[in-house]
Amino acid sequence: MPGIQATAGQVYILLIDNFTANTTPFNLTWSLSGGVTLSCVPLSVEMLSFTGVNMGSKNMLDWVTVSEKEFNYFEIQRSADAENFVTLGRMKAMNNKNIHFTYVFNDDSPAEGVNYYRLKQVDLEGKFEYSEIISIQMGSNEKLSVKNIYPNPTSGQINIDVFSDAETALEIKLTDLLGKTVYTEMVQTAKGLNVFRISEEKIPDGMFFLSLVSSDEEGFKYTQKIIRK
């Protein structure tokens, strides 16, 4: 692997993909300089879920943890394009050990259209990682709403529950982290609750963004990160 010129504050994550567990050891050799450090210790927080819903003039976010140890705080961030995020606020960690705890945060001034949210999870040593990105539609399109996408992570098919108040053409698309489309399908919603499925053989292993985009003038768009094990 070629060398990486890191600057202060940058964090790189190594992903070993298509790995099959066995008893054969392997080594990774690192050459670090200029103050660069290596950490193989995961953050001391286990996230069970991260969801959000529109509540009229505001968006409500909630997330559930099942274990926290020597954890510091959550930073709530919002974006209009799922790439450039700004910080809305912080919530101090409860440091609950082996019990479920639910956090709730209200965004009282969401932007019109689609708002993307993520959590920056920071421990007492300043180490951090980001949660999955979720999206909430605000105001401009109330004809469609995504009720649930499950299971996530998945080892098989993905189920998508969508409520629609009229017949609407909807594109379902999976893209990888490099932006390459690995699956796409056009579906038609009926009035009421619709359940769409992506079968197991159409989903490769890895991490993807699942997008739902309507073809009507109001431009509904929803994006969520999906993990296939």
Q: Closest by alpha carbon to 222, among 124, 143, 116?
A: 116
The CATH number of residue 162's host domain is 2.60.40.150
Q: How confident is the model at residue 186 (pLDDT cuts 50, 70, 90)?
A: very high
The pLDDT of residue 9: 47
Q: How confident is the model at residue 33 (pLDDT cuts 50, 70, 90)?
A: low
In a domain, 6, yes or no: no
Checking if the pLDDT of 185 tops 90, the result is yes
The pLDDT of residue 172: 94
- For residues 153 and 117, which has the higher predicted lDDT (pLDDT)? 117
In a domain, 107, yes or no: yes
Residues 179 and 206 in one domain: yes
- Per the structure, the count of domains in the chain is 2
Checking if the pLDDT of 34 tops 80, the result is no
pTM higher than 0.85 for the full model? Answer: no
Domain boundary among the residues 123, 138, 153 is at 138
Residues 132 and 55 in one domain: yes
Contacts of 167 (CB under 8 A, 6+ apart): 188, 189, 190, 191
Residues 53 and 112 in one domain: yes
Q: How confident is the model at residue 58 (pLDDT cuts 50, 70, 90)?
A: confident
Domain boundary among the residues 138, 163, 185 is at 138
The CATH number of residue 50's host domain is 2.60.40.10
Residues 124 and 149 in one domain: no
The mean predicted confidence, pLDDT, of the chain is: 80
Residues 133 and 148 in one domain: no
Residues 159 and 113 in one domain: no
- For residues 11 and 25, which has the higher predicted lDDT (pLDDT)? 25
Half-sphere exposure of 151 (CA within 13 A, CB side): 9
Determine the structural domain holding residue 160 and report its residue range.
144-228
Residue pair 154/228 in contact by the 8 Å Cβ criterion = yes
Domain boundary among the residues 100, 118, 138 is at 138
The pLDDT of residue 12: 60
In a domain, 17, yes or no: no
Checking if the pLDDT of 181 tops 50, the result is yes
